[in-house]
Structure 1
Amino acid sequence: MIDLPDYVKQGERARLFPVLADTSREGRMASIFLSLLPQIPSLAGAVLNTVGLRVGKRTKIETFTEVVLKDCNDTNNRPDGLLVVSTGKATWSALVEAKIGKSKLDADQVQRYLEMAKANGIDAVLTISNEFVARADHSPVVVPKTLLRKASLYHWSWTWIATQCEILSIQGDVEDKEQAFLLREIIRFLKHSGTGVERFSQMGAGWKDLVQAVTNNGTLKKTAPEVEEGVGCWLEEERDLSLQLSRHVGQPVEAVIERKLRDDPAGRLKAGVAQLVDAQCLTSIYRIPDSAADIEVNADLTRKTLSAGMRMKAPLDKKSTKARVNWLLRMLKDDDPRIIIRAHWPGRAAATQQPLSVLRDTPEVIQTENKDAAPHSFEVLLVESLGKRFAGRRTFIEDVEQVVPDFYDLVGQYLRAWQAPPPRPVKSRSTVDEDAITQETHDAIDEETPEAAAR
């Protein structure tokens, strides 16, 4: 016999090898995942941290499946699992509802589970599916806010769970051999197409019409259904791409969201619609740990281009445009024809840009009309013209997921932000003059091409 919580009439321990009917794919997936949380504390800590829980040495995690609550006889109200986390005197619990494949969460079902949680003193309802959200406390479904006063609602995507597993493996956070073996097996399992774990792979049905509307007359209406659908799909891809980048660099990568919209998914969708209508662009920003700057990704419906770029401050200790450009060029290893350098200037001077390959030979060609001016910042962009592929529901997503990692591999990993040098000690007048001469020599070297400076 197993010790069940008082409010549970029937249930089984979550098993790594569940004995369930072949038709119960969701129950099997939930059981396999839940069974690993007590066995791999690092994994439990990584996922439970997103719902406000800390996993320590004294933490006890219990997971159950085939749960039937004592006051519920309706077979339609049987969640896929129950998660109970105890630390000392404090206990937190959540009903778990899982979907797999193309199955979507049902708002009415989630609402019933929230009511059940409230009635039984359960702290939360946790949903897992292939639907993406920006944060665990956001949900793919809309429920009355009154239901969230006594029980919280959280959501994880299967891809997000798989990403957390891969990051733990890449970083070597699981040292125990048995735990490491289980972690590798769950990664392999979640990657297999037969499990029903799916990534976001295509834009909505109205994407082609949306692109065509911009091509025909260049105007969009906020009320057009394809506009809201297009923005909604872009936000789903944003969440999926942040996970893909996390696996790519082995560190958590997050989408940068404006502060006032972080807790307002509906407001964020509305803001995205306004941007698409006004600028005919879709934009997302990604933050990679310790990188020189955030990566801004832009899909331009007018030009049918995708771009990824980083903007960084120019080295202010170098006086001339040529010296500042060469400082940047020395960090870039590959002259990919898609890479463009854009310089921003003081005052109202318009930005100027040139291909990276051109600047290698003539850095000063990017100079604005004012020959005495020097750029205060640079953008490094990778721009891909998609042509007909832009309007393809699948090809558009394929290209987004190719361009952004390409940019990081070619540019992002090499850039280092400029920092002002520390102040020098105050010296005699003659010493100061000598330092000025030394600085002029360094500036002269910087004005040479990177190849010449290296020689």
Structure 2
Amino acid sequence: MSEEAWHEARLIPTSGINGAQEQEKRATSALLAVMGAVPEFAKALLGPLGAPGRVPETYIEVPFDLSGKRVIPDGLIRVSRGNKVWTALVEVKTGKSELQADQLDNYLDVARTENFDALVTISNEVPSLPGVHPTAVDKRKLRKVQIHHWSWSYVLSTAIVQKEHRGIADPDQAWILGELIRYLEHDRSGALEFDDMGPNWVSVRDSVAAGTLRANDKIAPEVIARFDALLQYLALRLGRRLGIDVSQVVDRKSTTNPTGHLADRMNELATSGVLRGALRIPNAVGHLVVTADLRANIITSHVEIDAPREGRQTTRVNWLLRQLRDAPDSIRLESFAVRSRTGNADLLAAVREDPKLLAPDASKDLRSFRIAMDSKAGAKRGSGQGSFIDSVVKSVDQFYGDVMQNLKAWTPTAPRLRPEVKGEEDGLRSVSLSSQDGPVGAS
């Protein structure tokens, strides 16, 4: 038999997975075991939850008695430091399986009875906003127990960033974490990427295109939430590639007045046919804004950057053009002047030929530039060629790679020292400037 047909032995094999239950058990055991074996990975996951920075003890399928009923969470994590013990129950779903509210309520009751600190849920459900749980639970049960959610995309991204960018001190532990990454990236692991815009996607998309969607339509909020989840996924995916923590930009109104914020977005979707959001990328010149125009079937990625505060207006435009020397000609540029609501816009190819297109009035100081890239939006609700999800992912990847990563903010020129003027015998000449001199021509 040719060696090409041989299968390399793996620490966490994907062979032999039969059904969702086996898939969940293997994923739970693999993840918790690696957390116990690789301290840096465990700290990256558990630190944000308030757990002590120590190596955790991990268990699977720990049974509890809840008022005479046998309850078995998928796992348990315990971290000790001195007299402090932090404990969390774990509930896991893989594939298309979703978390069940009644199960979570039972586990919250167990955690409260046992004086545990938290319940951690893991599934392929990506929350619409950071810190928002994808499953509604009785808030009264959260008075003494916290509930946290990790999507499998988040777990995989955390593992990759820790191994490839932040580093693992021990080579053997780095190899173990690499085996978990390889397992989670396999199709049979049940750890899926974001791949569905939801059952109402086609209906809302068609209603927007026809101009019949209303701001109070009951199916619109689900599509808006899915778009926000897509932004969360984009942040994780981009952060995985960059090795940093990319996050979704959250409007303050979404936390202070969520009902009003949702109403504003539903009205925008109904009147303009637009879904929008933004990503915060550390050390980038600005937020990467993603706009989906469902009527025009266009995805736009853009960033705004402050214009220099010195030099002629065309000099400021040329400053931007130098940074876009390798960008596609189809990029759209806009300039905005101080105390002006409107701007000037043209394609990069035309501005390269004539920078004055962005600065037609030399007397108006340019305040900022907007750099944008348009691409065709996919229509399908799932993933793959022709899908909306893949078109957004492609737009963000291309815009960041071709434009944003090459942009730097303007910094003013450092002030120059005034040269000293020396006369004979180091004294001032009679014609030299002195701090005692008044303006030229003063009497």
Identify which range, 122-131 or 259-268, moves more after superposition.
Answer: 259-268
The one-character-per-residue Cα deviations of 1:157-208 (angstroms, maximum 9, x if unpaired) are 1110000011012215102111010011111000000011111113223322
Distance 1:162 1:264, change over 3 A: farther
Secondary structure of the residue that 1:409 maps to in structure 2? helix
Name which of 347, 368, 373 aligns with 2:339.
Answer: 347
Secondary structure of the residue that 2:233 maps to in structure 1? helix
Secondary structure of the residue that 2:289 maps to in structure 1? strand
Find the counterpart in structure 2 of residue 125 from structure 1. 119
Contact 1:131 1:140 (8 Å CA) reproduced: yes
Matched, 1:170 2:146: no
Matched, 1:303 2:296: yes
Find the counterpart in structure 1 of residue 233 from structure 2. 240
Matched, 1:372 2:366: no
Distance 2:174 2:129 in 1: 27
Find the counterpart in structure 2 of residue 157 from structure 1. 151
Give the letter for the 1:123 counterpart.
Answer: D
Contact 2:287 2:303 (8 Å CA) reproduced: yes
Trace 1:5-404 onto structure 2 (pairs within 5 A).
Answer: 23-55=21-53, 59-70=54-65, 74-75=69-70, 77-133=71-127, 137-217=131-211, 220-262=213-255, 269-320=262-313, 322-348=314-340, 350-368=342-360, 370-386=361-377, 389-390=378-379, 393-394=382-383, 395-404=387-396
Find the counterpart in structure 2 of residue 439 from structure 1. none
Give the letter for the 1:245 counterpart.
Answer: L
Distance 1:79 1:392, change over 3 A: closer
Distance 1:267 1:43, change over 3 A: farther
Distance 1:340 1:198 in 2: 35
Distance 1:337 1:423 in 2: 36
Give the letter for the 1:131 counterpart.
Answer: E
Distance 2:242 2:195 in 1: 21
TM-score (norm 2): 0.85
Contact 1:136 1:155 (8 Å CA) reproduced: no
Identify which range, 125-134 or 342-351, moves more after superposition.
Answer: 342-351
Give the letter for the 1:326 counterpart.
Answer: N
Find the counterpart in structure 1 of residue 441 from structure 2. none
Structure 1 residue 262 displacement after superposition: 4.6
Distance 1:349 1:172, change over 3 A: closer
Distance 1:336 1:285, change over 3 A: same
Distance 2:347 2:90 in 1: 52
Give the letter for the 1:47 counterpart.
Answer: L
Secondary structure of the residue that 2:78 maps to in structure 1? strand
Distance 1:29 1:135 in 2: 25
Contact 2:292 2:300 (8 Å CA) reproduced: yes
Contact 1:60 1:87 (8 Å CA) reproduced: no
Count of residue pairs the alignment pairs up: 409
Distance 2:432 2:213 in 1: 65
Q: State the structure with more CA Rg.
A: 2
Distance 1:124 1:221, change over 3 A: same
Give the letter for the 1:62 counterpart.
Answer: E
Structure 1 residue 224 displacement after superposition: 1.6
Gaps of 5+ in 1: 1-14, 433-455
Distance 2:127 2:355 in 1: 44
Percent same amino acid at aligned positions?
30
Distance 2:143 2:282 in 1: 35
Distance 1:313 1:431 in 2: 41
Distance 1:371 1:16, change over 3 A: closer
Secondary structure of the residue that 2:335 maps to in structure 1? strand
Structure 1 residue 346 displacement after superposition: 2.1
Distance 1:71 1:214, change over 3 A: closer
Distance 1:30 1:292 in 2: 40
Contact 2:87 2:118 (8 Å CA) reproduced: yes
Find the counterpart in structure 1 of residue 426 from structure 2. none
Contact 1:16 1:33 (8 Å CA) reproduced: no
Gaps of 5+ in 2: 1-10, 422-430, 434-443
Distance 1:405 1:165 in 2: 21
Distance 1:348 1:116 in 2: 60
Structure 1 residue 71 displacement after superposition: 5.1
Structure 1 residue 268 displacement after superposition: 5.6
Distance 1:270 1:159 in 2: 29
Distance 1:35 1:263 in 2: 39
TM-score (norm 1): 0.83
Distance 1:346 1:60, change over 3 A: closer
Distance 1:358 1:17 in 2: 55
Distance 2:60 2:206 in 1: 49
Find the counterpart in structure 1 of residue 402 from structure 2. 410
RMSD (Å), alpha carbons = 2.7
Distance 1:284 1:112 in 2: 36
Structure 1 residue 242 displacement after superposition: 0.8
Structure 1 residue 215 displacement after superposition: 2.3
The one-character-per-residue Cα deviations of 1:288-324 (angstroms, maximum 9, x if unpaired) are 111111111111123221111110110111222x111
Secondary structure of the residue that 2:62 maps to in structure 1? strand
The one-character-per-residue Cα deviations of 1:62-87 (angstroms, maximum 9, x if unpaired) are 11112012556534x21001111111
Distance 1:417 1:65, change over 3 A: same
Contact 1:338 1:384 (8 Å CA) reproduced: no
Contact 2:129 2:250 (8 Å CA) reproduced: no
Give the letter for the 2:206 counterpart.
Answer: Q
Distance 1:263 1:89, change over 3 A: farther
The one-character-per-residue Cα deviations of 1:203-240 (angstroms, maximum 9, x if unpaired) are 223322322222223x5323323312220110111111
